[in-house]
């Protein structure tokens, strides 16, 4: 069985590093994007199994990216976990309404992130 592909999207090098360190690189094939447009392009091209998606991004925000991916026939089945500092109930509600499969607020525990990853793959 091929290794599951995960696309990690965040414009902060620090946050990207934290997520990459939390993910078990021996179990997943991980790629990264730093803005919404790049995330859309890579999702269409690489067809990852899962996307860890920040909400506050340059060019297109995570809510827009999520909605576009979930409404397109070629990317609608990719699992999306929004990983964001936006912690209000309204943000969570809105994120899930855009089609996100799960919502994780920063700062997060590595174990929490990995649990969400494995339950959404």
pLDDT value of residue 114? 94
C-alpha span between 118 and 78 (Å, rounded): 14
The number of distinct structural domains making up the chain is 1
Average pLDDT of the chain? 96
Average pLDDT (106-119) is 95
pTM over 0.85: yes
For 92-103, the pLDDT digits (tens) are: 999 999 999 999
For residue 26, pLDDT over 90 is answered with no
Average the pLDDT over 58-78 and give the result. Answer: 98
| CATH number, residue 29 | 3.40.50.2300
Q: Is the pLDDT of residue 25 over 90?
A: no
Residue 41: count of CB within 10 angstroms of its CB: 12
Residue 1 has pLDDT above 80, yes or no: no
Q: Which domain covers residue 41, as residue numbers? A: 5-120
The residue among 114, 104, 99 whose CA lies nearest residue 66 is 99
């Amino acid at each position: 069985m091929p290794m599951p592909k995960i696309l990690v999207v965040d414009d902060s090098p620090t946050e990207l590093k934290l997520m990459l360190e939390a993910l078990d690189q021996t179990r997943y094939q991980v790629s990264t994007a730093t803005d919404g447009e790049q995330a859309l392009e890579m999702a269409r091209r690489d067809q990852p199994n899962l996307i860890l998606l920040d909400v506050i991004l340059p060019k297109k925000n995570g809510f827009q990216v999520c909605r576009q991916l979930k409404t397109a026939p070629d990317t609608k089945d990719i699992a999306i976990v929004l990983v964001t500092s936006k912690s209000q109930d309204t943000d969570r509600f809105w994120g899930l309404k855009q089609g996100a499969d799960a919502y994780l607020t920063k700062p997060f525990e590595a174990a929490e992130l990995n649990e969400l990853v494995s339950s959404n793959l």
